[in-house]
Amino acid sequence: MMAVQDEIQVNYLEEMEVDQDSAEVKEDSSTYYVEQETEDNDEFLYGATEHEEDLTAGIVRTASSSGITVHTRETEGGVTEVLGIEDDDVSQSGKETYETVTIVPSEGDSGEVSYVLIVQQPEDEKEEKEDDLKVYDFDEGEDPNVQTENDEEIDDPTTKRTPKKSQTATQAHMCNYCNYTSPKRYLLSRHMKSHSEERPHKCSVCERGFKTLASLQNHVNTHTGTKPHKCKYCESAFTTSGELVRHVRYRHTHEKPHHCTECDYSSVELSKLKRHMRCHTGERPYQCPHCTYASPDTFKLKRHLRIHTGEKPYECDICQARFTQSNSLKAHRLIHTGNKPVFKCELCPATCGRKTDLRIHVQKLHTSERPLKCKRCCKAFPDRYTFKLHCKTHDGEKCFKCDLCPYASSSQRHLESHMLVHTDQKPFQCELCDQAFRQKQLLRRHQNLYHNPNYVPPQPRDKQHECAECGRSFRHKGNLIRHMAIHDPESSAHERALALKLGRQKRIQIIDGQEVQVIDDDEDDEDSETQVLAVEGEDGQQYVVLEVIQLQDGDGTEQTVAVVGDDTDLSNDQILHTDTDIGDLHDPTLMQDLQDSSNGVEFPQPMVQDIKPRTAIKQEIVTENDVKNCFGFDDDDDDEGDDPDSLEFFNPIST
């Protein structure tokens, strides 16, 4: 800090300091932030206004804050030069106060380079200012210890040096270390204690020292628990009367004399209002040394620094998880206690664990900028929730109808897949052979079967559907339902109706004068294995039933037929070409997809298309006897030997 002294001797006008790290320009107790320059040359300006102009000599910037405007210039060498400082109030009054300043590098004790800002006063003000300064001038012959303290005070960015402008040189008693003056000698004497680190009044309990007897007495009271100032509204008690008064204002009278001029905020303490004002000005005096974050107060900076230090002072006593903030721990603890609050949505049955999540829920599901239109029926809905509710009304309804044939589906995806039949497109081409498919899963299954030697078909499922009457178990719910008819023969029609109502769809029906239900599968189970049936055709050839379709006779009556496949070249006119070949039977997942996508397809007549070896499916009318003969059908599936789920059994290649 001797550099300061030297400069003061030469050009003793007014000293300011610019710390290199924060580029912080301080004048007395007010702090003006000129600019912050980080390692990556990002620049931050904490001021109400900013002006930047490129000049050949460098970049000139203007930053304003708290009624003071600071003009700086960055030269080519990266040196920031403060050109001048303006008092906005004075400037507005028309009085020119533009000052010339220079920045002098100064090496501090810590090794960090600071800058001393020397402000050049205009000549006409200089004399008057110097007269004033004489009043507060430092005595060069002061005790060197005292001088050191003063240096530390200047180095400390939090140190305030508040001149009392109202005080004049006519007051008799003046402090030699600061601008304090007092008409009373004792007051100055008392004030001088603030400059001294001497603490003559020692606590007998903890040996801590205090400057005044009153301070010691208050401290001793903390040891003894003596709190003489008791609140008349509650049980609280305090060591000083000031604490009690403030407490009463905070807790009981809610008297808030300090009002914000920008908003309706008011506070008990002025310091709180000052802190509050930073949210209006955007002032962030506390710069993080590790990143670009700057905080409006010390606590936030301290809290923020934990990110860099990794400090997590809050530990869960149950699971030892650690947190940087106390409230994070508090929220975490609720997981263990089970006392999680439940925030119920007023607009739907949804509940959330936290208020903020409920708000997001309402935002996402119950607010929408524009109405949502149902693609199926074109109705519009105000938000996502009502839209989703509406969509459920379409469940089971085949809203997606083909324009070229009577096909209808409950899903847009299925309709799109179906349309490939009309366009004869097969977008999924096998890269290892010339096979192509209409569906992605068909290609995948094909590649597994023919190009992947490591492919292992999934295991058949357990028999999870048990009859409550006799204890027999079935793999498929449909079989159980059918089985239940044994116990109550009169209920079959009702059960079928119920099954249909529940959305379960019959996979195979043999129409031969009378309806025979062969097998159902679990529509509600995505993992359900496909019911694959084998039948024997009129030519004695065994066929595998791949799918069941509805046909219309000439008289308009519907007939259900089974689509079957074999491993032979087919030349029958009534051949339904699909992407499926016999190998499909190895892949139950694929078969499920196939049946899902073809279920309910209404073909006015069979479609005859190109036939390729191993990709042709022969369509046959199969009879009940065909099926029964083929299966040795005994009306249940609890025997592995005749289990229609058994792919091996139904694989025509293996037979």
Partner DNA sequence: TTACTTAACGCCCTCTGCTGGCACCGC
Partner DNA sequence: AGCGGTGCCAGCAGAGGGCGTTAAGTAA
Q: Of 587 and 620, which CB lies nearer to DNA in the complex structure?
A: 587
Q: Which of 73, 129, 173, 191 binds DNA (CB under 7 A)?
A: 191
* Residue 328 touching DNA (CB under 7 A): yes
3-class DSSP string for 271-311: HHHHHHHHHHHCCCCEECCCCCCEECCHHHHHHHHHHHHCC
Q: Which of 83, 203, 220, 245 binds DNA (CB under 7 A)?
A: 245
Contact 361, 355 (CB under 8 A): no
Q: Of 382 and 613, which CB lies nearer to DNA in the complex structure?
A: 382
* Residue 214 touching DNA (CB under 7 A): yes
CB of 84 to DNA, least distance (A): 26
Q: Which of 5, 20, 66, 324 binds DNA (CB under 7 A)?
A: 324
3-class DSSP string for 225-258: CCCCEECCCCCCEECCHHHHHHHHHHHHHCCCCE
Q: Which of 19, 27, 151, 243 binds DNA (CB under 7 A)?
A: 243
With contacts defined by CB under 7 A, name the span among 50-58, 122-130, 317-325, 373-381 that binds DNA: 317-325
* Residue 376 touching DNA (CB under 7 A): no
* Residue 44 touching DNA (CB under 7 A): no
* Residue 330 touching DNA (CB under 7 A): yes
The interface with DNA within residues 164-183 (CB under 7 A) comprises 164, 180, 182
Q: Which of 63, 116, 365, 546 binds DNA (CB under 7 A)?
A: 365
How many CB atoms are located within 10 Å of the residue 421 CB? 19
Q: What is the DSSP letter of 452?
A: -
* Residue 298 touching DNA (CB under 7 A): yes
Q: Of 445 and 506, which CB lies nearer to DNA in the complex structure?
A: 445
Buried b (16+ CB within 10 A) or exposed e, 450-474: beeeeeeeeeeeebebebeeeebbb
Q: Of 202 and 388, which CB lies nearer to DNA in the complex structure?
A: 388
* Residue 367 touching DNA (CB under 7 A): no
Q: Which of 32, 33, 115, 238 binds DNA (CB under 7 A)?
A: 238
CB of 154 to DNA, least distance (A): 14
Report the amino acid identity of residue 220: V
How many CB atoms are located within 10 Å of the residue 503 CB? 11
Tokens of 13: 């006008």
CB of 131 to DNA, least distance (A): 23
CB of 631 to DNA, least distance (A): 31
The interface with DNA within residues 486-545 (CB under 7 A) comprises none
Q: Which of 136, 138, 250, 381 binds DNA (CB under 7 A)?
A: 250
Q: What is the DSSP letter of 250?
A: I
Q: Which of 246, 390, 398, 472 binds DNA (CB under 7 A)?
A: 246
**Can you tell me whether residue 217 is helix, strand or coil?**
helix
Q: CA–CA separation, 218 vs 632, rounded Å?
A: 101
Q: Which of 95, 184, 451, 487 binds DNA (CB under 7 A)?
A: 184
Q: Of 361 and 496, which CB lies nearer to DNA in the complex structure?
A: 361
Strand-pairing partners, residue 428, are: 437
* Residue 586 touching DNA (CB under 7 A): no
| Per-position x/- string for 21-40, each x denoting binding to DNA as judged by CB under 7 A, each - no binding | --------x-----------
Q: CA–CA separation, 332 vs 337, rounded Å?
A: 9
> For the chain, percent helix, then strand, then coil, each to nearest 5?
35, 25, 45
Residue of 443, 419, 423, 444 lying closest to 601 (CA atoms):
419
Q: CA–CA separation, 316 vs 321, rounded Å?
A: 5
The interface with DNA within residues 391-410 (CB under 7 A) comprises none
Tokens of 645: 């789920």
* Residue 352 touching DNA (CB under 7 A): yes
Contact 644, 533 (CB under 8 A): yes
Strand-pairing partners, residue 564, are: 545, 618
The interface with DNA within residues 451-480 (CB under 7 A) comprises none
CB of 330 to DNA, least distance (A): 6
The residue with tokens 């006063």 is 121
* φ, ψ of residue 184 in degrees (nearest 5): -105, 135
CB of 304 to DNA, least distance (A): 4
HSE-up of 325 (CA within 13 Å, CB side)? 11
* φ, ψ of residue 175 in degrees (nearest 5): -80, 135
